[in-house]
Chains A and B, each alone.
Chain A
Amino acid sequence: MLTSMQLHLAKVFLKIFFRDRQSITFNLFFPLVFIGAFLFLGGEPDPIKLGLVNNSTNTISKDFSNLVKGDQLFEVTEGEESDLKEQLLLGDQTAIIVIPENFDYSDKTSELRLLLDASQVRQLGTIKEAINTSLISIERELRKSEPMFSLKIEDVKARSQRYIDFLLPGLLAFMLMNLSIAGSGFNIVEYRRRGILKRLFVTPIQPKDFIVSIVLARTLIVLMQISVVLGLAIALLDVKIMGSFFSLYGMVILGTFIFLCLGFSLGSIAKTQEAVRPIVTSFTFPQLIFSGVFFPISSMPEIIQPFAHALPLSVIATGLRDIANDGVSLLIFNSTTLGIVIWIILSFFTVTKFFVWKEIAS
């Protein structure tokens, strides 16, 4: 149970945070700018510029072309392969689909060729995934599949067509990482440098009281700030949370715990205020790049994918995405929840190993 000392100290940390207007503004600035940008763009990404080469003359290929042209995801230009290839090289097209001469799917599988500019590595995975999903959808429509199947397709489409749905959980995870590490790592070093920890340590406060208070205060701060961003995204960008808010907030709390523990460890390793910044950056920067916050991990080179999937931010971002986009419950055991359990254990182990109160205080 929480003691009145712990509660009071947590209240003090909250008071300090809320009196620091500049810090609140800048913590919210980055995610709000993103939401603002999406609001400005109408919440939808630009359509993919798709060149369509139809080498077939049969009705099936015409139906197929019409459906592709009707898909809002694409801005289709029909033409000859050579002309469109030139446009692709100039960057006027993002991809080209080539329908073969004998396009027929009734008795065999036809091969559609997808031409891409491989130099656009950053977008390759996303484009491939989006085109593939849309083509499957078109195929289902042509084949007049069973309703059970079309349900599945709508789900897949909904995800790939709205980038904000993909981005928001990652953004929330990124936000909670920054808030947590700033709350533990940076604060510890700052309190130590200024002798505040030493002053606390001459009182009978125990290390666990101090840690519990910071964890409590920071978790509340993260929950409040995430609620602001989430609330705006739901109200202004029509973002739907498919899963329960219990699961979503549960995941946020677990993520905050992991990053607070890691933040305490980083703050304990850093001996000076100058050292803490590069140490924290070398921890957070790779996560920003590799954790699939802005682009799916599947679009990254295969060799780094296992590493990217293992990062704590990836685990939390994927967990939040599973809940927000797919309605997965936090209580269902899958590879993401396993990852979270592993990171909770690892971060807790790290913090108990590195966080030496006496060294911190002196």
Chain B
Amino acid sequence: MNIIEVRDLLKSYPLPGNKKETFNAVDGITFNIKIGEIYGILGPNGAGKTTTLEMLEGLNDIDGGSALINGLDVSTNVFKVKEIIGVQLQANEYFDKLNLTELLILFGKLYSEEIDSDDLLKKVDLLGKSNAKPEELSGGQKQRFSIACALVNNPKILFLDEPTTGLDPQAKRNLWNLVKELNTAGMTIVLTTHNMEEAEYLCKRIAIMDKGKLIAEDTPQGLIEKYAPEPQQLASQGNIEDVFLALTGHTLRD
């Protein structure tokens, strides 16, 4: 059963340098996400991944098409949708002078919920840091804390925007395990990433976006079989990175 249904989703912005004309950052994409899936959106910089996520999260207006989350139309029920989703943004900053416990309690209050902050910190392996300020945490700890903040409302769907960018291999692996655990407990997870290994390791299905369009969607193995070079002979040697480069080309994007 689908928990997210996206139809012809469109977002346009004025063209930089020529405000009279527009370009489509997200150009009529359609996809469904099933309950309990880890769904990855892959794409080069500027492909429209974050914009897509932000439209689903209610941070960005939808210019065309529709997005249903748990049966709710995001355009008309944005606050109800926000109550059932958890969001980890690419950059996470918090109010100064508050420690992790105080921040979690604050986020809980924003959902009108009383939370057990220790339980959440334990879940992300930060119980020993409850009195620390976010700026005192390492990169990996910060990312785990931002996930804890996204979990305060016990969401049905968790959105993660490039969760492991900038993390060392240990921190990355630790975060993957956390994502797997949350998914095993029944949470649907939607993530964007540049990291092919991450997409391949975590995601049940992957969508590849480029220039605002969704150019491929399948399971990691399905994509490898379809798009990796010389699939008949080299399928076992190919990986999702090969698929990605085959589909989006080798040109630098920024």
Which residues of A are at the interface with B, using a C-beta cutoff of 8 A?
Answer: 3-5, 8-9, 12, 15-16, 19-20, 194-196, 198-206, 358, 361-362
| Chain B residue at minimum C-beta to C-beta distance from A200 | B110
| Chain B residue at minimum C-beta to C-beta distance from A7 | B109
| Chain A residue at minimum C-beta to C-beta distance from B90 | A195
Report A-chain residues with C-beta under 8 Å of the C-beta of B20: none
Contact of A202 among B82, B97, B112 (CB under 8 A): B82
Residue B98 interfacial (CB < 8 Å): yes
Contact of B97 among A3, A9, A15, A361 (CB under 8 A): A15
Determine, out of B32-40, B53-61, B136-144, B229-237, the stretch whose residues face the partner at the interface: B53-61
Is A5 touching B61 in the complex (CB atoms < 8 A)? no
> A13 CA to B20 CA in the complex, in Å?
42
Report A-chain residues with C-beta under 8 Å of the C-beta of B96: 16, 20
Report A-chain residues with C-beta under 8 Å of the C-beta of B111: 203-204
Min CB distance A218 to B, Å, is: 15
Is B59 touching A198 in the complex (CB atoms < 8 A)? yes
Is A198 touching B89 in the complex (CB atoms < 8 A)? yes
Which of A3, A16, A203, A361 is the most central at the interface, judged by chain B CB atoms within 10 Å of its CB? Answer: A203
Residue B218 interfacial (CB < 8 Å): no
Report B-chain residues with C-beta under 8 Å of the C-beta of A15: 97-98, 102
Q: Is the interface of B mostly helix, strand, loop or mixed?
A: loop
> A16 CA to B97 CA in the complex, in Å?
6
Min CB distance A348 to B, Å, is: 24
| Chain B residue at minimum C-beta to C-beta distance from A194 | B93
Given the contacts A195-B89, A198-B59, A203-B82, A4 and B94 also touching, CB distance less than 8 Å: no
Is B61 touching A202 in the complex (CB atoms < 8 A)? no
Contact of A195 among B91, B98, B107 (CB under 8 A): B91
- 17 new A-B pairs (CB below 8 Å) besides A8-B106, A16-B95, A206-B79? A5-B112, A9-B106, A12-B102, A15-B102, A16-B96, A195-B93, A196-B95, A198-B59, A198-B89, A199-B93, A202-B58, A202-B59, A202-B87, A202-B89, A203-B110, A203-B153, A204-B110
> A32 CA to B180 CA in the complex, in Å?
58
Please classify how large the interface on chain B is, using the bins under 10, 10 to 19, 20 to 34, 35 or more: 20 to 34
Min CB distance B167 to A, Å, is: 19
Residue B181 interfacial (CB < 8 Å): no
Min CB distance B139 to A, Å, is: 16
Is B97 touching A5 in the complex (CB atoms < 8 A)? no
Is A4 touching B97 in the complex (CB atoms < 8 A)? no
Residue B251 interfacial (CB < 8 Å): no
27 A-B pairs (CB sep. < 8 Å): A4-B109, A8-B109, A9-B110, A15-B97, A15-B98, A16-B96, A19-B97, A20-B97, A195-B93, A196-B95, A198-B89, A199-B89, A199-B92, A199-B149, A200-B110, A201-B59, A202-B59, A202-B87, A203-B110, A203-B111, A203-B153, A204-B79, A204-B82, A204-B110, A204-B111, A358-B61, A362-B60
Residue B83 interfacial (CB < 8 Å): yes
Report A-chain residues with C-beta under 8 Å of the C-beta of B102: 12, 15
Min CB distance B72 to A, Å, is: 13
> A9 CA to B111 CA in the complex, in Å?
12
| Chain B residue at minimum C-beta to C-beta distance from A203 | B110
Min CB distance A20 to B, Å, is: 6
> A200 CA to B93 CA in the complex, in Å?
10
Min CB distance A114 to B, Å, is: 57
| Chain A residue at minimum C-beta to C-beta distance from B88 | A202
Is B60 touching A9 in the complex (CB atoms < 8 A)? no
> A203 CA to B92 CA in the complex, in Å?
14
Min CB distance A151 to B, Å, is: 54
Contact of B93 among A12, A196, A203, A361 (CB under 8 A): A196
B109-123 CB contacts (< 8 Å) to partner A: 109-112
Report B-chain residues with C-beta under 8 Å of the C-beta of A198: 59, 89
Which of B58, B83, B95, B96 is the most central at the interface, judged by chain A CB atoms within 10 Å of its CB? Answer: B95
